Structure 1
Amino acid sequence: MEIIIFDFDGTIVDVWERYYKIFKDWWNLDIKIETFKTFKWNTQDEKQMLEKMGILAKDEEFQEYKKFKRWALEEKQYLSLDKLIIDTDLITNIKENFIILTMRNNQNAFYWQLEYLGIFKFFKNNCVVLKPQGPETKTEWLILNENCFTNETIYIIGDSETDLNMIKASYTLKDKIIKVFLVKSGLSNPYKIIDKTKLPAEVIENVNSFLIG
């Protein structure tokens, strides 16, 4: 038996517009989203991004931006900018054999977004929302909830180091085969994630590539 664990942000939905608008609004920058994507794809260090744009942000100001960003990322005005990546016609093919595993501080805002995007009916009974606790958050959850998985093979579809780290659970869950697929639709370059972690994963174009494949 198999089960699929989907990440949400960057995997099920395109979050580029949300992150771009937050960055642009705070720093009052007149940049195109393509420029933001190029910088973000190459570095996750936003202070370094600013420096490459010729902006030397003071530490205090950058810390204020980070506070604003944490708040704004789960505000409806910014969440409403996200767009669906997943083809909902393909979801019916996998029936109940999947879960959405996401990290959000505001669970209510997450379920509001499902309604807003018109996908609540597909995912309402298959979501697990975790508080962000670092890059091992999802790995720790998987190990702690091993009894919930009678499945022999677990497929992880995501876009971040946190998703790729879940393969480490196989060191503990000896009876499980865990395979990770990193999508190109997220905020990070999947090849850089693999190179950094030295963990195995297959890189795919997007979530639909997996579902069709």
Structure 2
Amino acid sequence: MGIFDLDGTLLGVWKRYYAVFNSWWKIEGLDISTFVSLKRDLVKDEKIVRSFYPHIDETQIVLYQEYKRKNLENPEFLKLDELIVNVTTLKSLHRFLILTVRQNAPNLYSEFKRRGLDFLIEKTVVLQPADRLVKYRWVLENISTLSDCDEKITTVGDSETDLLVGMMGQVETYLVKTGLRDPYRLIEEYKDQLTSPVRVLETVNDLFALLKMNE
């Protein structure tokens, strides 16, 4: 059984995150490549802002965070996402699901339909943002229905919420380089909590050359 993350794994989200960030801050000279470097290095948007405006008022940070929460899954911004996964290959897989953390499931389903990806709706489980273990808990609670006792679960993602599913011994974990986080830093940060090795892929498409997914 394959469990795929969505944002940063199947979909490239850098343009969306950059657009939301700089539509608020309007930092002159901040191009998307610089934003990507800063986001990978500093992780939190607040730290990126303070690297340009060291004395920014905390109130402005709070207002931006609310703006981001309301707009990150706005349909107009969602249109900026780019497909990473080879859809033809994904369609050929039978034993997989998408496990994603989103605030607005209806907007996600509408975006799937707009892109002609309706077949993914029934394959997608949407979890509400909670903490870093939200996916781990879901898999733990549903593992008996996800696979047979002798079937390995393969999870592919780009963040700690995906990585920490690997705390279960029967899970094989892959991180991709296309997401918001640096996979090697994540592995180093969480190495003491993992029970099996984690492999790093350039993109999710590389997985299909390495694995034979269980039908």
Instruction: Report the TM-score, using the length of structure 2 for normalisation.
Output: 0.90
1:185 aligns with 2:178: yes
Are 1:139 and 2:136 an aligned pair? Answer: yes
The 1:55–1:33 alpha-carbon spacing in structure 2 relative to 1, beyond 3 Å, is farther
2:95 maps to what in 1? 97
Q: Equivalent pairs: percent with the same residue?
A: 33
Aligned equivalent of 1:72? 71
Alpha-carbon contact 1:164-1:182 (below 8 Å) kept = yes
RMSD, matched Cα: 1.3
Contact 1:102/1:129 (<8 A) preserved: yes
- Partners in 2 of 1:161 and 1:56 — Cα distance? 30
Distance in 1, matches of 2:43 and 2:15, equals 16
- Partner of 1:156, secondary structure, is strand
TM-score by length of 1: 0.91
Q: Deviating runs (4+, > 3 A) in structure 1? A: none
1:20 maps to 18
In the TM superposition, 1:118-137 aligns within 5 A as 118-121=116-119, 123-137=120-134
Distance 2:147 2:36 in 1: 40
Mapped partners of 2:176, 2:20: distance in 1? 23
**How far apart, CA to CA, are the structure 2 residues paired with 1:162 and 1:85?**
20
Give how far 1:133 is off. 0.8
Instruction: State the alpha-carbon separation in 1 of the partners of residues 81 and 17 from structure 2.
Output: 9
What code does the residue aligned with 2:17 have? Y
Structure 2 unpaired stretches of 5+? 211-215
Q: Is residue 2:29 matched to residue 1:36?
A: no
Residues 90 and 212, structure 1, Cα contact 8 Å, conserved in 2 = no
Shift of residue 63 of structure 1? 1.1
Shift of 1:57: 2.2
